[in-house]
Amino acid sequence: MPASAAWARPEDLVESLSSLDNTARLKALRDVKNQIIGNKTKKLSYIKLGAVPRVVEILASDTEIPLLVQSAAAVGSFACGIDAGVKAVLDSGVLPHLLKMLQNGDNKVVEACARSLKMIFHSPLAPKSDMFEGHRMELILELLNNGSENVAEVAASVLARCCETLEHQQALADAGGLRSLVSLLAGSVKKQEAALDALAALTKHNQQLSAILIMMDQGAALSLIIRLIRDKSPRMRLLACMCLAHIGKACPAGYGQEDEVRINMLGILMKLLDEPGQVGEDAPGVLADLVTNNEELQKIAQKENAVEKLADILHRDTLPAKQLEGVLLALAELCSRLEESRRQLLDSQVEAPIVAAFGHPCEGVKVAACSCVKSLSRSVKNLRTALTGERLVIPLLQLLSDPSSAVQVQAIAAVGNIVLDFTLQKTVVMQSSGIDQLVHFAQSMDPILRRNAVLALKNLLYMADSVVKGRVVNELTVSTLCELIRDSEEDVQEQAISLVRNLAYGDPDCIDYVFAHGDLLLQAVEQQLSVSLRPEISMQALYVINNVAAGNERHKDAVMDLVAPHKALSNTSGFLLNRYLQDMINPQLRVVAVWCIINLTYPGGTGTSSRVTRLKNAGVESLLQKMADDPCLDVKDRVKTALEHFSTAVTLVATTSGQ
């Protein structure tokens, strides 16, 4: 081994880091740094030997420029590409020392410290919120104007990693970050790429900042970003597309020629999928953002064989986690609305790699896989043919026990889709612990988990037999269901009432489950019908009343006692449904309200005449007569049927009296 490459034993090098001799310390720093670069085993070994606190001590206490540069560089090497290294340097309290050195008069020290910050903030362990304490963010922003191209580029990269929340984004913008980053777009390629990366982070899910960027400099900043999607650098094209995709997704108002730009971006991203390295890994996720909630763009992508191209990538033996997540998310979006895209994806035999993704260690991959199944299961045909049996359902149900709430939310949403309507999937859920888990999540403190779990139980009850309904009612309990109907979250209320609607659909035996504990459920529904101002909730509550009213005489009488109690019939306001019969804003509410009347007055029942009399006394017949020329044809037709029922009942009473 050449003498220049002959290093001392690791233990001796670590000891030399605390030497009183500056030359010895400097040599030890260089040797440790050179040994650990690209070598995970060496990094872990030196971490175990306690090298990191000694390196940080040099950065914190020395004043000689070479020592400061080498200690900062060593910190960055420890943090590069390994979370154990990031944890070690953070545990050693390096962050305030790195930030302090950003004010050093020597640019080499500043650049070395900035690069170390970049390495640290590429890790999910980085304390991103800490960067918004005191004047730390201002220190980073000042570096954007540094004369060194490398320092400005690294500073922008650090900013890109710090914007994880709306609060972070706003704080950075308030400190002048948006303007400073836009100014970098006029710089070198490296500065432009770093600026685009940070601007993409600033505008992600942020309508306000996206709108500001669109209007900045009378649209000049946006025009420059649009031009950069055709840059010769693949990374530049990707980052420009990412920035524009985030702006378009966050700001529905859009900008001039947006449709044309989006179509161009689609073609560019399709080509970037084939790029090696980081660009190819990131391109699928940007494509997913681009086509989100844009059916026209999804149609163009489908015609350009985007689904098949992504499916081919999915079949590769190994994929980096970020690329796999992006591919699955892009497929989920492309298949969210278009049946032809779903068919293309299933024809590509992707069920196995999607199911395999359920077991991936990365949270984002599992979330994306669940989203993909959710999109595929929106197709009735797929539920009947492709997405069946234990091969898919059992691994999906296992994700309900995942430690990540984000995974649980998407897994429950996917379960809610696959149990809709068809017996095979319902059977698998029944035979596993699926119902127990859904009932558990229906009582979660997380409103999204509650809502998704109740929705899944609702779908499980759709067109289900009495065995399934009985099992759900017994395990969920009527008291819990009543609590969900009165939940503080309106989305949960709506799904809970819709669950009761499905429970009450079918023959009288099924409707009996609504009365498992007297009329507690009906009372809870009636309460919402009386007070809710949200049409979606009122609609579901009316359907519950309608379904129960379609049952036997006992069920009809129970509805009458609820919506038209004897003591309240002295005036028309005593009839609960009158409010909805007169709702001229929502015709569908009028339709369902009239259906309730039709079912309550259906000819041939032993109590029909009595119910008709009570309804007449409540002024219902008069209201129906005023609705005979309703502007909604569906309402008009239903009103005609209801009035015929009233007429039939009157004729029958007269005939009976005559006899």
* 658 in any annotated domain: yes
Contact yes or no for 623/582 (Cβ under 8 A): yes
Q: How far is CA 514 from CA 127, 150, 475, 554, 557, in A?
A: 52, 69, 14, 12, 14
Mean pLDDT for the chain overall: 91
Q: Do 154 and 250 lie in a common domain?
A: yes
514, 558 contact by CB (below 8 A): no
Q: Which of these ranges, 22-26, 146-150, 170-174, 463-467, has the smallest mean pLDDT?
A: 146-150
- In one letter, which amino acid is 428? V
pLDDT level of residue 460 (50, 70, 90 thresholds): very high
**Residue 98 and residue 192 in one domain:** no
Q: Which of 2-16, 133-147, 620-634 has the lowest mean pLDDT?
A: 2-16
CB distance 152 to 185 below 8 Å: no
| 421 — pLDDT class (breaks 50, 70, 90) | low
430-451 confidence digits (pLDDT tens): 888 889 999 999 999 999 999 9
Residues 119, 154 within the same domain: no
> Which residues form the domain of 92?
9-127
96 in the same domain as 20: yes
The verdict on 122 and 57 lying in the same domain is yes
- How many CB atoms neighbour CB 438 within 10 A? 26
**Region 494-515: what's the mean pLDDT?**
95
Report yes or no on 454 lying in a domain. Answer: no
| Domain tally, the chain | 3
Exposed/middle/buried for residue 590 (C-beta within 10 Å: 0-12, 13-18, 19+): buried
pLDDT band with cut points at 50, 70 and 90 for residue 650: low
Residues 119 and 189 grouped into a single domain? no
Most confident of 135-139, 365-369, 649-653: 365-369
Q: Is residue 643 part of a domain?
A: yes
Same domain, 172 and 91: no
What is the torsional sign of CA 202, 208, 213, 217? negative
Query: Does 466 reside within a domain?
Result: no
Contact 449, 489 (CB under 8 A): no
Of 256, 276, 293, which residue constitutes the final position of a domain?
256
pLDDT band at 164 (very low <50, low <70, confident <90, very high): confident
Question: How does DSSP classify residue 295?
Answer: H
**Residue 9 has what pLDDT?**
87
pLDDT at 300 over 80: yes
Whether residue 326 lies inside any domain: the answer is: no
Q: pLDDT tens across 513-572, in order?
A: 999 888 999 999 999 999 998 999 999 999 999 999 999 999 999 999 888 876 654 555
The residue type found at 44 is L
pLDDT value, residue 568: 52
In a domain, 344, yes or no: no
pLDDT tens profile 196-219? 999 999 999 999 999 999 999 999
- For the chain, the distance separating the N- and C-terminal CA atoms, rounded to the nearest angstrom, is 121
Question: Which of 393, 397, 408 minimizes the C-alpha distance to 449?
Answer: 408
Please tell me the predicted confidence (pLDDT) of residue 5: 45
| Confidence band of 4 (pLDDT split at 50, 70, 90) | very low
Residue 428, pLDDT score: 84
- Is the distance from CB of 314 to CB of 350 less than 8 angstroms? yes
Q: Is the pLDDT of residue 425 over 90?
A: no
- Between helix 405-418 and helix 363-376 the angle, nearest 10°, is 20
Q: Is the pLDDT of residue 501 over 60?
A: yes
Contact 518, 511 (CB under 8 A): no
368 is a domain residue = no
Residue 1: per-residue pLDDT:
38
Record the tokens describing residue 101, joined without a space.
């050195």
Looking at the fold, whether 112 and 153 belong to one and the same domain comes out as no
Tell me, what CATH number does 577's domain have?
1.25.10.10
pLDDT digits 0-9 by tens, 308-337 = 999 999 999 899 999 999 999 999 999 999
Task: Say whether both 149 and 245 belong to one domain.
Answer: yes
Last residue of a domain, one of 84, 99, 127: 127
Could you give the percent of the chain with pLDDT greater than 90? 73
Output the pLDDT for position 655: 57
Dihedral class, residue 481 (left if φ above 0, else alpha if ψ from -120 to 50, else beta) = alpha
Residue 391 maps to a domain? no
- Same domain for 160 and 104, yes or no, is no
Last residue of a domain, one of 223, 256, 289: 256
* Residue-wise pLDDT tens digits, 619-632: 899 999 999 999 99
Binning pLDDT at 50, 70 and 90, where does residue 388 land?
low
Q: Could you tell me which residue, 246 or 426, shows the higher pLDDT?
A: 246
Does the structure show a pLDDT above 70 at 422? no
Q: Is the same domain home to 171 and 63? A: no
Lowest mean pLDDT: which of 346-355, 414-423, 598-607?
414-423
Secondary structure (3-state) at 39: coil
Burial of 103 (0-12, 13-18, 19+ CB in 10 A): exposed
Rg (CA), the chain: 33
Query: Looking at the predicted structure, is the pLDDT value of residue 654 above 80?
Result: no
Residue 255 pLDDT:
80
Torsion of CA 523, 527, 530, 536, to 10 degrees: -100
* 21/122 same-domain check: yes
Let me know: does 162 contact 121? Beta carbons within 8 Å: yes
Task: With beta carbons less than 8 A apart as the criterion, state whether 167 and 211 touch.
Answer: no
